[in-house]
Chain A
Amino acid sequence: MGATEARDRVPRRLVSWNHQMHADTFGTFDDTLASGPQRTPLHALHLRRGARMVPFSGYDMPLHYPAGLLKEHLHTRAGAGLFDVSHMGQIALHADDPADAARALEALIPADILGLRSGRQRYGLLTDAAGGIRDDLMVARFGDRLVLVVNAANKAADLAHLRANLPASVTATPLDRALVALQGPAAEAALARLAPEVAAMRFMDAADIPILGQDCLVTRSGYTGEDGFEISVPGFAAEALAEALLADGSVMPAGLGARDSLRLEAGLCLHGSDIGPDTTPTEAGLAWAIPSVRRAGGAREGGFPGAARILAEIAAGPARRRVGLRPEGRSPVRAGAPLFADAAAPEPVGIVTSGGFGPSLGAPVAMAMLPIALAAAGTRLLAEVRGQRLPVQVVPLPFVPAGFKRG
């Protein structure tokens, strides 16, 4: 047996994680060449807990633990899952005048960074001159310091981009820390046992909190659609923190497999699959990340890469858009599957950008990029899977409602 391809049935030996794998083509974060996959500070914990390890973005990462992807996914929606996301890039920006760093970042990201108060976090996009998305990221302010969390596959390129474009008064420094995500409805109670103050945090809050005696940067956010936290912790202290969280009966370790199925059900974009240099924020359905202050007529209108195209597209509407898809049958429709308007159409009208099985729905789910005329919910199309055209329907995102603590 071997892994199938969406269009060409190229036989390959049974391989591990061939789905949406990002090769790290940019070298390591500090621009040195690694001889093999890197290890996060939680590597030994993963092995001890019997994880199936796979190469991912230059790191040896857990795909799943012995419980398996389905249980890890469902447990994260019912209790809490603990994910090692230390492969992601954490970058701190420093400037003598904190407003300098915020102003400089606004020249690269169409977000309101000057208005970002200490203790808050926002989602943002690094755009390019053509209006495409270099990367998507989170930016938080802890006192005078801005801290970015960027995608693992892009972190070296992002750091180089920041350093090449920020003024000399602003320095970008990679943080050599571990990052763990505790996600799910039981996350608050489990983390509050170690740090009671997290219970007072709301969605997208950020706080500098000592946990088990170590300085941690905690945000109430994540990539699963659930309430939860991401905790940046010094590498040497990561394993003690992870074990303390796992000692709570409601917390189960979860791997990258569950992380991907959770974010897909939550309708969240994966850079390199659903979004990238070939998609604009508007096409991606991410214009909400561009606040009115940076749009036409705003006090700090434009002034970011690709502003002309992006602002024009916000005004006029995009020619195509990211949508949710529900296959009508049981067969998963995966990334790369072409979409057709009818059974006889010779040319595809769009392509599936992410797809698989949604464990919480017990059914296949996918996201796709489609021309605007075919992007309305209820539109029926055909996805080609192994030579067969299977019915799918455009549906609103997310597939599973978010459980954020906004109150």
Chain B
Amino acid sequence: MLRFTDEHEWLKAEGAVVTVGITAHAAEQLGDLVFIELPKVGARLAKGEAAAVVESVKAASDVYAPLPGEVVAVNDAAVADPATVGTDPQGDGWLYRLRLDDPSEMDGLMDEAAYAALPK
């Protein structure tokens, strides 16, 4: 199941664990990425909390936790090579994995068609 937020994040669910990243639209808007900061494995995130930072040459942007949960993995390869997030934001450029407190909350997020229709 693939879901999106209006803050330009995507979530892909495998059971109660979701992989989180930024959308291709966000990556395009940000431009070349040069630095990424990810949450610590084991960290508890509240919905809307700043979970990660992605920085282009020109600006820093927060990536907010889309739903409450616990961080179970982070993409160290993206930290080592932030450009990956710009070139493959919805693949190898994923940011972190979150074990959701309540997996049913995924149903409240947008599907791909709804996100595509979002005014940007």
Partner-B contacts on A (CB < 8 A):
1-4, 9, 11, 13-14, 16-19, 52, 63-64, 68-70, 73, 257, 260-261, 330-332, 334, 356-357, 359, 364, 386
Contacts and interface: CB of A to CB of B under 8 A. Distances in A.
A69 B56 CA distance: 9
A13 B26 CA distance: 11
B60 A3 contact: yes
A331 B54 CA distance: 10
The 10 closest A-B pairs by CB, nearest first: A70-B32, A357-B34, A4-B60, A1-B63, A357-B57, A19-B59, A19-B58, A68-B32, A69-B57, A1-B7
B31 A69 contact: yes
B53 interface: yes
Nearest to A70: B32
Nearest to B64: A1
B19 to A, nearest CB: 16
B60 A257 contact: no
Given A3-B59, A357-B57, A330 B8 contact: no
A63 B63 CA distance: 23
Nearest to B9: A1
Interface in B37-85: 37, 48, 50, 53-64
Q: B-side binding surface: helix, strand, loop or mixed?
A: strand
A334 B35 CA distance: 13
Contacts of A18: 59
Given A1-B8, A1-B26, A9 B62 contact: yes
Given A70-B57, A386-B53, A16 B35 contact: no
Nearest to B37: A331
B104 interface: no
B22 interface: yes
